[in-house]
């Protein structure tokens, strides 16, 4: 069936970017177009999700070449959910950027690049072809390089060099893995690969190929021992950019891991053990980093690493319950991580610094705003009944069933460390009084002089994302139903394969 | 030289579908034409000749290429399917949506190359 609708989220961002290029020097028009483009994309994403949720998996064969020869685009519940969450973040970040990003950056193409990045993300979520996935990853990293260096401060260039080096390495591993896969199976279509890999006799070869993908995606999503580039590069770009990076970019790696290891490589004991061990170390190292750092954004960067471990651990346990937990965590994490970086940016606007030792007294000055922020922070910690709590229940349950006590211990340590860090942050930044600053330093408040409209543009996205987080927490049964559905699809991939290749191919 | 090179670049562009050539190469040749013009007459003269700054070409070209990609959608075909007119045009031959993609690429390449080179040359002057 010819069905172009599923590619619309990609197209919208492409056209928004092109239209934005026509308004290269006109920053006001750019802001309006960007927000409008993101809103349209969000509507389309909602439509795509409801369609997939009601009618099942949708596919599109690009240019009419049938799978497995042409490039297939597939929207199952997992990918359309990711597109939906991306669209929410996109709306929030482009609204925030309208005042949160310096005019100089907008003059050098901030918004077009932002939309190309979102296009790449949506493409990566929707593609059903592994080489096409690689191409979308390239689109993403090219856009993100520009994003990181935009502004040209020395620290930014330094962060970008690390980021670029690691990502090129990751891409090389990924590409090598694809080459080997193509060599042993002769196909690049994910559904077709799933069938052919399953039929292969030489399991050792499959394991080794899988390791290429673990390394490639592991670097991108900052899994131990390849995480160190993330904290050292994510604190350099402006907060709106860091929000996209922290919320979405590492999660593409996670998405790809989930896709690869549920559809193509069905993990055997070796791979699951490997993933669990990696997850444990990721959690522990991320925790240590988060506990000792003092700059808010660096703390958040290490928390990303720590929480990536939760998801990889869920994948490693590989039971339906564990996958449900990991997916729930993924959904919750995208919303919350995007939001906390926006919050970090807002704190910087309010006070001109992100060093916790120099901050204080925000609660006294902005009680309502602080409550919203508290809601987000406590969701991150996982205080029941907020959104971080439910996935952990599933992860614990799965851990007890599978007797993965080391991973359980790591998750508990990670959770408590998150609690400690967030409590410290809350106490220092919001509760305690504004500390005395050393001589010669003063706080710069960029928030006060803004007019009401611009203030609301900064605060509205945070409230919007907080509302979604609250929804995930309070209406957990809806989200859990989605996650369970996806986990079920992951365990039984035949609907996916049938949707792509036609009804008569399943083994 | 300028008209001859431009004409040649158009020839390369149109030849592209069945023989070596196409939008990218054609665009480069057209860009070379303008660069040579700027060598002899100075960058400012070339910019005057172009009337608009070359960076304005980029979105136009991108737009044409993207539209050619999504045109099949309007007639109910999957994205990126090649569409062809039934009647061959005089001189050029059959025209399909691939040609419009190539024209888009051509314009983008001219825009990008000239933007980069002119920015450098104006900066160093």
From chain A, the residues in CB contact with B55 under 8 A are 24
B41 touches chain A (CB under 8 A): no
- Distance of CA A366 to CAs A138, A192, A446, Å? 42, 56, 15
- The C-alpha atoms of residue A284 and residue A295 are separated, in whole angstroms, by 20
CA atoms within 13 A on the CB side of A257: 33
In 3D, which of A306, A461, A483 has the Cα closest to residue A391? A483
* Size of chain A, expressed as the number of residues it contains: 507
Interchain contact B76–A (C-beta under 8 A): yes
Inter-chain touch A4–B79, beta carbons under 8 Å: yes
pLDDT in tens, A63-98: 667 667 778 888 888 999 999 999 999 999 999 988
- Above 50 in pLDDT, residue A490? yes
The percent of residues above 90 in pLDDT, for chain A, comes to 12
Q: What is the per-residue pLDDT across B33-45, written as a single tens digit (0 to 9) for each?
A: 888 888 888 877 8
For the stretch A380-402, what's the b/e string if a residue is b when 16 or more beta carbons lie within 10 angstroms of its beta carbon? bbbbeebbbbbbbbbbbebbeeb
SS3 of A334-385:
HHHHHHHHHHHHHHHHHHCCCEHHHCCCHHHHCHHHHHHHHHHHHHHHCCCC
Q: For residue A395, give both structure tokens.
A: 């992860």
pLDDT at A64: 66
* A285-303 as b/e: b if 16+ CB within 10 A: bbbebbeebebbbbbbbbb
Residue A506 has pLDDT above 60, yes or no: no
pLDDT at A3: 67
Containing domain of residue A170, as a range?
5-436+443-501
**CB-CB under 8 Å, A18 with B59:** yes
Q: Quick: pLDDT tens for A193-239.
A: 888 887 877 778 888 888 899 888 888 888 877 777 777 777 777 88
Q: Which of the two residues, A62 and B85, has the higher pLDDT score?
A: A62
Domain count, chain A: 1
Beta carbons within 8 Å of A231's beta carbon, 6+ residues apart: A289, A293, A298, A301, A302, A305
Whether the ipTM is more than 0.85: the answer is no
In a domain, A507, yes or no: no
CB within 8 Å: A64 and B70? no
Structure tokens at B89: 């045009």
pLDDT digits over A15-51, tens only?
888 888 888 778 888 888 889 999 999 999 998 898 8
- Tally A–B CB contacts below 8 A: 37
CB atoms closer than 10 angstroms to residue B94: 12
- Any CB–CB contact under 8 A between A139 and chain B? no
Q: How confident is the model at residue A2 (pLDDT cuts 50, 70, 90)?
A: low
Mean pLDDT of the A432-449 span = 69
Q: Is residue A166 part of a domain?
A: yes
Per-residue pLDDT tens over the stretch A310-357 = 888 888 888 888 889 899 999 999 999 999 889 888 888 887 777 777
Interface with A, mutate which of B68, B71, B79, B105 (most A CBs under 10 A): B79
Q: Is the pLDDT of residue A122 over 80?
A: yes
Q: Examine the pLDDT at B70 and tell me if it is beyond 70.
A: yes
pLDDT at A507 (0 to 100): 47
Query: Across-strand partners of A189?
Result: A129
């Amino acid at each position: 069936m010819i069905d172009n609708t599923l590619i619309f989220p990609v197209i919208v961002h492409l056209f928004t970017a092109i239209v934005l290029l026509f308004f290269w020097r006109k920053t006001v028009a750019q802001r309006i177009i960007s927000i409008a483009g993101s809103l349209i994309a969000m509507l389309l994403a909602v439509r795509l999700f409801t369609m997939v949720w009601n009618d099942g998996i949708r596919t599109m064969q690009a240019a009419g070449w049938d799978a497995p020869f042409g490039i297939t685009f597939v929207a199952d519940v997992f990918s359309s959910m990711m597109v939906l969450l991306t669209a929410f973040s996109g709306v929030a970040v482009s609204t925030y950027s309208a005042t949160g990003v310096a005019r100089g950056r907008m003059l050098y193409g901030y918004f077009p690049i932002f939309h190309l990045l979102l296009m790449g993300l949506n493409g990566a979520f929707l593609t059903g072809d592994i080489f096409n996935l690689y191409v979308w990853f390239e689109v993403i990293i090219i856009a993100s390089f520009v994003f990181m260096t935009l502004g040209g401060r020395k620290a930014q260039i330094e962060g970008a060099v690390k980021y670029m080096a690691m990502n090129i390495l990751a891409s090389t591993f990924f590409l090598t893995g694809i080459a080997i896969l193509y060599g042993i199976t002769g196909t690049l279509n994910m559904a077709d690969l799933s069938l052919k890999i399953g039929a292969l006799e030489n399991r050792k070869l499959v394991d080794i190929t899988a390791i290429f993908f673990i390394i490639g995606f592991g670097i991108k999503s900052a899994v131990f021992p390849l995480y160190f580039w993330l904290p050292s590069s994510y604190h350099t770009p402006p907060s709106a950019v860091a929000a996209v990076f922290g919320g979405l970019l590492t999660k593409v790696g996670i998405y790809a891991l989930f896709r690869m290891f549920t559809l193509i490589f069905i993990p055997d004991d070796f791979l699951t053990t490997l993933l669990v061990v990696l997850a444990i170390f990721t959690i522990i190292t991320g925790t240590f980093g988060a506990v000792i750092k003092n700059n808010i954004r660096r703390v958040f960067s290490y928390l990303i690493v720590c929480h990536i471990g939760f998801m990889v651990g869920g994948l490693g346990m590989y039971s339906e319950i564990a996958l449900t937990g990991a997916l729930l965590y993924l959904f919750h994490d995208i919303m919350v991580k995007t939001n906390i970086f926006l919050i970090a940016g807002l704190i910087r606007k309010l006070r001109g610094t992100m060093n916790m030792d120099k901050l204080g007294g925000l609660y006294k000055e902005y009680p309502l705003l602080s409550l919203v922020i508290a809601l987000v922070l406590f969701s991150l910690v996982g205080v029941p009944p907020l959104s971080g709590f439910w996935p952990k229940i599933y992860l614990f349950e799965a851990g007890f069933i599978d007797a993965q006590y080391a991973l359980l211990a790591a998750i508990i340590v990670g959770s408590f460390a998150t609690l400690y860090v967030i409590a410290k942050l809350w106490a220092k930044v919001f509760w305690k009084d504004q500390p005395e600053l050393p001589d010669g330093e003063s706080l710069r408040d960029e928030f006060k002089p803004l007019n009401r409209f611009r203030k609301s543009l900064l605060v509205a996205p945070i409230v919007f994302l907080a509302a979604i987080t609250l929804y995930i927490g309070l209406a957990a049964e809806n989200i859990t139903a989605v996650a369970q559905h996806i986990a079920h699809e992951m365990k039984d991939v035949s609907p996916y394969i049938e949707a792509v290749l036609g009804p008569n191919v399943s083994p | 030289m300028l008209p001859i090179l431009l004409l040649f670049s158009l020839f390369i562009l149109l030849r592209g579908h069945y023989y070596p050539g196409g939008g990218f190469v054609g665009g480069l040749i057209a860009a070379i034409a303008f660069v040579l013009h700027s060598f002899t007459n100075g960058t400012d003269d070339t910019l005057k000749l172009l009337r608009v700054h070359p960076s304005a070409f980029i979105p136009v070209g991108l737009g044409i290429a993207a539209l050619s990609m999504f045109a099949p959608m309007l007639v109910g075909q999957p994205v990126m399917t090649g569409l062809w007119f039934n009647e061959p045009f005089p001189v050029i031959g059959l025209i399909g949506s691939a040609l419009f993609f190539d024209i888009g690429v051509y314009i983008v390449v001219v825009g990008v190359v000239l933007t980069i080179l002119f920015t450098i040359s104006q900066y160093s002057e």
